[in-house]
Amino acid sequence: MSASKRVVIIGAGVGGMCAGALLAKQGCSVTVCEAIGVVGGRTRTQVIDGYQLPRGAVSFQLRGVLPTLCEEVGAKLDLRPVSEMWFWIKGGDGFVPLPAKSGIGKMLEMLMQVQGKDSTKAMAQVGLQLSMAKISQAFKSPDIIREDDDGPTFRAWLMQYTDNEDLLALFHAITSAVSALNDFEYPARHWFAHFSGAAMDARMDKYALVGDGFQGVSRALGDIITANGGEILLNTKTLAINSADGHATGVTVERAGKQFDIPADVVISNTGPMTTLSLAGEAALGKDYTQRIRKRVRPTPIVATYVVSDEPLFTPRAAFLAAGLERIVTGVPLTNICPEWAPDGKHLTSFYGTPKSCLTPMDKDDERRANVADVHALFPDFAAKGGRILDVQLRDIDDPDVVARSWPGHNVPVETPLPNLFNVGDACGPDGFIATPAAAASARNTVNKILAKLS
């Protein structure tokens, strides 16, 4: 491909940097324009009181599209593998490690122990086993689910087979931990798409933390871009995507108080489909496309609670999944793996909760209360260990740093009505992909399409 092909990428998030590294390696002249002073987008690190908080992604999946892409371009990452997941269930005897291969089986065993503790529930064990047998069978042929629209929610689908509250809580926790959505809002057919073989990438079993924070992935990809003649312009906000005669012609940016145009043969937006709409304008993209995207995109909110302590709250080098709490479904004892993220002798743990609804704005006071209460329920010795809530970050559906710019299943195609304007990012992955694997897959898909068009 000719090096004279100039590609402008708006945004230095994971999707933008993956696309940039792949294209730079192919000989394109790549310019990344990033509005803020660092690369990484939502994966950037935020420092509070000397603690390094990952604002977004924590777990780097060790298999799948993102590690493959990083390896292909030669990005050097400081990966700290974590191969364990522990499980906690309300009413149980505390945290237990999940075996790598039969995690769900172990969770069910714990669930039965919890039920068996209560004599009134002992009989429910039989029902539970029967329900699981039915569910396992139904999992093998979930194509009974309608394809014409979103269809039933995963909870509605599950309730055909069980009304056991503990079992429902377990599936709720798994759903929220993996997709950040409530199972009673998440369409069942998207749930199955995500848990299918095609989306193996997004599974939680083999993962790592990145030593310099997940932003280290974007930094390493940035090194590939610059080593191949590209440039990354920080503090450079794109004000408009320019177009003429049905093609993108480049961007207008603002940097250090000055506005200027950067011409391009191809423009890639990593800002999310809604921002792409406003940058390019309805006149360029057409009314139909604009309306379709507005209707389709559904941002996913999340509550991230960061806790500091004098002693580790949880000692294994593992993440944990929790079932039966009000909001929190997962957490990571970050400094067990990356001790340098806290001042000497201090510890940092992050907790993630799915709000009461992912469809309507949060009741922020209630979300704060519920997430903090869950931390105390998980760690009754919180105060004795010198625990302190450092920050509760309420990323509502209108927050620029939501957990995903669109729900899985509400993903947007990478192509736009302008043949040389593309979207990349976590709203644009293939069906079943979410988070950073979705962003990386969207970049790979976009680059394949660009190379096919330009060759």
Q: In one letter, which amino acid is 200? A: M
Nearer to ligand FAD, 110 or 443 (CB): 443
CB of 405 to ligand FAD, least distance (A): 6
Of the CA atoms within 13 Å of residue 133, those in its CB half-sphere come to 6
Least spacing, CB of residue 259 vs ligand FAD, in Å: 13
**Shortest Å distance, C-beta 442 to ligand FAD:** 8
Neighbours of 203 (CB within 10 A): 15
Q: With respect to ligand FAD, which residue has the nearer C-beta, 107 or 253?
A: 253
Q: Which is nearer to ligand FAD, 57 or 89 (CB)?
A: 57
**58 closest CA partner among 200, 203, 214, 202:** 214
Query: In whole angstroms, how close is the CB of 124 to ligand FAD at the nearest point?
Result: 34
Among residues 168 and 178, whose Cβ is nearest to ligand FAD?
178
The nearest distance, CB 333 to ligand FAD, in angstroms, is 14
Q: Which is nearer to ligand FAD, 182 or 238 (CB)?
A: 238
The conformation of residue 300, written as its DSSP 8-state character, comes to B
Bridge partners of 263, per DSSP, are 250
CB of 450 to ligand FAD, least distance (A): 17
Looking at beta carbons only, is 14 or 199 nearer to ligand FAD?
14
Q: Whole-angstrom distance between the N-terminal and C-terminal Cα of the chain?
A: 6
Q: Minimum CB separation from ligand FAD for residue 204, in Å?
A: 9
Task: Count other Cβ atoms within 10 Å, centred on residue 377.
Answer: 16
What's the closest the beta carbon of residue 96 comes to ligand FAD, in angstroms?
Answer: 22
For every residue of 350-393, which 3-state class applies, written as one string?
Answer: EEEECCCCCCCCCCHHHHHHHHHHHHHHHCCCCCCCCCEEEEEE
Give kind and range of the element (H or E) at residue 31: strand 29-33
Q: Which lies closer to ligand FAD via its Cβ, residue 378 or residue 404?
A: 404
* CA dihedral sign, ordered 59, 64, 104, 155: positive
Residues 435 and 334: beta-carbon distance below 8 Å: no
Residue ranges that bind ligand FAD, judged by CB under 6 A? 10-16, 33-36, 41-43, 56-59, 237-238, 270-271, 275, 302, 304, 395, 401, 403-405, 425-426, 435-436, 439
Nearer to ligand FAD, 270 or 420 (CB): 270
What is the secondary structure of 116-177 as a DSSP string? Answer: HHSHHHHTHHHHHHHHHHHHHHHHH-GGGS-SSSS-SBHHHHHTTT---HHHHHHHHHHHHH
E strand residue ranges, 300-346? 302-309, 319-323, 328-332
